[in-house]
Homo-oligomer: A and B are copies of this chain.
Amino acid sequence: MFDIIAFDADDTLWHNESLYTATQTKLEQLLAPYLNGEDVGQRLYAMETRNIPYFGYGIKSFTLSMIETAIALTEGRVMSEDIQQVITFAKEMLDTPTQLLDGVHDVVAQLSKSHALMLITKGDLLDQQRKLDRSGLSDYFSHVEIVSEKAEATYQTLLAHYKLEASRFLMVGNSLKSDVLPVVAVGGRAVYVPYHTTWEHERVSPDAVQQSRYFELAHIGLLPDLIETMRKRESE
């Protein structure tokens, strides 16, 4: 029924956002002595948003935004040893083992027997490859695509590159904005599996969501059953 089942990676296959949240907490603690209760998280998010056109996604981009936020919020009073500490946070993030979400290994192993699997992830090339290498999942994926943005045009390019019919392409991910809505818009099928926390940048308004059609699962472990149900329904 599907020629390819594609998966998002961060927060779909393995934990990611929680690592950023934990690092943001460390930054708040680091800057607390300089501040009078200013909202570090809000300023950091504003800085990240402003920096995406320059630096894109991923840990290096996040780190440069943390440094700029630290300098701006402290009006230049932040000491360079604390800036060095922020870079050390980044290296700790990069050294963190890839922690799979519950059920992911079994589902991916099972579906790889019946389908060609693809990984489509946005972010920093080296960082995403490192996570995949450490995940123990890389042998299950026939194709890996690391892209700088997941928009409709991105999916159209991928479908053309792999000579895939949109209706026979299924994308599974935790972001309505990146994994679900653009795929449905180009005629593909999508399964939304929410993660417990969503980065503000990935949130979309309910309006856009309601206009779209996709499946939603509470847990990735339910994916093989959903695919089987879809197959039966189509063949009836």
Q: Which residues of A contact B (CB under 8 A)?
A: 54-56, 60-61, 63-64, 67-68, 70-71, 74, 76-81, 83-84, 87, 90-91, 94, 124-127, 129, 146-148
Contacts and interface: CB of A to CB of B under 8 A. Distances in A.
Contacts of A81: 71, 76
Contacts of A83: 67, 71, 80, 83
Contacts of A56: 124-127
A56 B55 CA distance: 14
B71 A80 contact: yes
Q: Interface majority SS on A: helix, strand, loop or mixed? A: helix
A-B pairs with lowest CB-CB distance, top 4: A56-B126, A60-B60, A126-B148, A71-B80
Contact of A125 (B68, B78, B148): B148
A68 B54 contact: no
Contacts of A64: 60, 63-64, 87, 90
Contacts of A55: 60, 94, 126
Nearest to A61: B60
Contacts of A68: 84, 87
Contacts of A126: 55-56, 148
A90 B70 CA distance: 17
15 contacts: A55-B94, A55-B126, A56-B124, A60-B61, A76-B79, A76-B80, A76-B84, A78-B80, A79-B80, A80-B80, A80-B83, A83-B83, A125-B147, A125-B148, A129-B148
Given A68-B84, A74-B80, A83-B83, A91 B124 contact: no
A132 B78 CA distance: 37
A199 to B, nearest CB: 17
A66 to B, nearest CB: 11
Contacts of A67: 67, 83, 87
Nearest to A126: B56
